[in-house]
Chain A
Amino acid sequence: MITVFCLLLGKLLFLLVVGYELLQRFRDRLNALARRSYDLWRGDAARELHERRVLADCRSQLTKTPQHLVLVISPSDGYVDALLLKRIFGFALDVGVKHVSVYDKRMKDRGFVELADLCRSANEGSGRCFKWPPSQSKPESESRNGQNTNGYANGTSGSHFPQQLQLYQIDESDGHALIAEVCRELYEERETPKVQNLLSQKREALTEQISGMLAKRLGFEAPEPDLGIVFARQTCTFGLLPWHVRFTEFHTHPSGRYFDVETFASILCKYSRCEQRWGK
């Protein structure tokens, strides 16, 4: 008797959850349509003016700004396109973010955005580091403003904004596979004094060595991401850089919901309120 009751309750719960999800998706799409129509109606100039105003307001409220923002796009997302990414890059540049990484898990034929198509390559060798906006040609030194490269920065309260954003395309082979590659390289050199010396020291020495080798292999110098926006219906890292995102604050933006300047500002404000305790 109780089993039948639970079964019926379960079916009801299932219907409620599915109904709620569908309604929410419908509301998100309707809202997106209305806001996109409004943006079209008021024109680009008015929209940009509004965006600048919102971002200026946002900047004045922030106690810290992320130095490195990572955008994670789930394999099933159908809404993040080149246009949205360009707008996010613009917002990030405006508030003073220095580095943005894109980890797009979609297939090439399912909406994958190639950053190379959006920007020109800043590094002929690796072809995965770009600058935004692409029109400016002056290269910026990575280690300016005393920024911590290859280490966690946890935002900055400095007032100097970069002229160009550093963009990186992250691939799934940059995750677990890269760590395995580093291990293989060390294994091949295991008889050398360098590796033997690392093994005779405390484990932190080997950790440092791995960090350095990973940074070299990634092909770009940037602090560890301090803020991540996951475009998905559920929160998941999808294998994003397991070595580098240990202290990243994740914010999930449900696929299909409209992403505009207000969304971006509210994520930054939320990030700014987070207190990192570093284990203390």
Chain B
Amino acid sequence: MSWVSDYQYSLAERIAMRTLRICGQIPHHVAFVMDGNRRFARSQHIDKIEGHSRGFEKLADCLRWCLDVGVREVTTFAFSIENFKRSSEEVDGLFNLAREKFARLLQEVARLEEHGIRIRVIGNIELLPLDLQKLVATAMLSTERNDKLFLNVAFAYTSHDEITQAVETVLRHGNEDIEAADISERLLEECLYTRHSPPPDLVFRTSGETRLSDFMMWQLSTSVLYFSNVLWPQITFWHFLASILAYQRDRWQLDDFRRRERMHSLELAKTSHFYSERVQKFLATIDEDRRKLLVRVAAAN
């Protein structure tokens, strides 16, 4: 199963997609909490891992829909650090699935290049088995020049870990470059794993749960949250379009709030010397270090 499916649209689906594209604003960044794989597996009397595998197939469909509808950035919550609490059999099964999918991704780099898809894994990848770390790092490096659709896969991720990592980065690397007065929300935001991504416009969670499960808690303060009762492997194009329609309906009510937040962020950037040479140098160092780490992991035996 490829990372971007060859989904065949019906005529009605084509018309509906085009209508939404013409008549309303399409979210730039959509985040998915792909919940319900195991419940789906139970309901179908199939193995849990098969449920996760079906979930991945839906992700491939979803990426195709996003690409065609005009979404430019997708973030998916694939594996939480909390999921390490699951049985070792299930965790190993999930890692095997990830190995298979990332290996597949490396085989179809040309296809991803054709679509301009860049894969970024956000999370504490050092918690993963070494061979998986290597696959992940290679996949990220192989697609780093693509810039049409960004796919962020949250793997071994929680917001607490991400925010702690940002604080840790400041404490470890800020020594020579920055002053205490430079530290603000704006700077911390740039130290998150999602440093190069805008905040999600729409967060879509399946399976009827109405919590966020420690996913992008920092970034989603201005996002439209959309909860659907459908289990992730059962999601259809129409569920996806319904979420886009809900976004188009709700976004204008958040516009004032978003504008105020943007102004606040700009003001903060000014007062905390965000655009100063020393802060920008510090951020460039972070980028450099992160890339070096990927190169090192990808080259490891």
Write the residues of chain A forming the contact surface with B, with a CB cutoff of 8 angstroms.
2-3, 5-7, 9-11, 13-14, 17, 21, 74-76, 105, 175-177, 179-180, 182-184, 186-188, 190, 195, 199, 203, 206-207, 210, 232-240, 242-243, 245-251, 274, 276, 278-280
- What are 25 sample pairs from A and B whose C-beta atoms fall under 8 A apart? A6-B19, A6-B23, A10-B23, A10-B24, A13-B245, A75-B257, A183-B167, A183-B188, A184-B183, A187-B174, A190-B174, A203-B164, A207-B164, A233-B253, A234-B250, A234-B253, A235-B224, A239-B222, A242-B221, A246-B158, A246-B212, A247-B213, A247-B214, A279-B80, A280-B86
Knowing A179-B188, A180-B183 are in contact, say whether A199-B227 is a contact too (CB < 8 A): no
Residue in contact with A234 in the complex, picked from B82, B160, B254, CB distance below 8 Å: B254
- Per the bound structure, the CA–CA distance linking A182 and B168 in Å amounts to 12
- Per the bound structure, the CA–CA distance linking A233 and B261 in Å amounts to 19
Residue in contact with A250 in the complex, picked from B22, B210, B221, CB distance below 8 Å: B210
Residue in contact with A245 in the complex, picked from B15, B158, B212, CB distance below 8 Å: B212
Knowing A183-B188, A187-B174 are in contact, say whether A6-B18 is a contact too (CB < 8 A): yes
B164 touches A235 (CB 8 A): no
B180, CB-defined interface residue at 8 Å:
yes
Rounded to whole Å, the gap between the CB of B140 and the closest CB of chain A is 21
Number of A-B contacts (CB under 8 A): 173
Residue in contact with B180 in the complex, picked from A10, A188, A207, A251, CB distance below 8 Å: A188
Interface residues in B258-296 by Cβ distance below 8 A to A read 260-261
B4, CB-defined interface residue at 8 Å:
no
B22 touches A182 (CB 8 A): no
B219: nearest chain-A partner, CB-CB = A242
A186 touches B171 (CB 8 A): yes
Given contacts A179-B167, A232-B253, 4 further A-B contacts (CB under 8 A): A233-B253, A239-B221, A276-B211, A278-B82
B35: nearest chain-A partner, CB-CB = A277
CB contacts (< 8 Å) of A235 on chain B: these are: 224-227
B163 touches A180 (CB 8 A): no
- Per the bound structure, the CA–CA distance linking A195 and B174 in Å amounts to 14
B209 touches A236 (CB 8 A): no
A105 touches B257 (CB 8 A): yes
Rounded to whole Å, the gap between the CB of B57 and the closest CB of chain A is 23
Residue in contact with A179 in the complex, picked from B163, B172, B213, B257, CB distance below 8 Å: B163
CB contacts (< 8 Å) of A210 on chain B: these are: 163-164, 167
- Per the bound structure, the CA–CA distance linking A11 and B185 in Å amounts to 41
A246 touches B159 (CB 8 A): yes
A203 touches B168 (CB 8 A): yes
Knowing A234-B253, A236-B225, A279-B86 are in contact, say whether A243-B163 is a contact too (CB < 8 A): yes
A239 touches B225 (CB 8 A): no
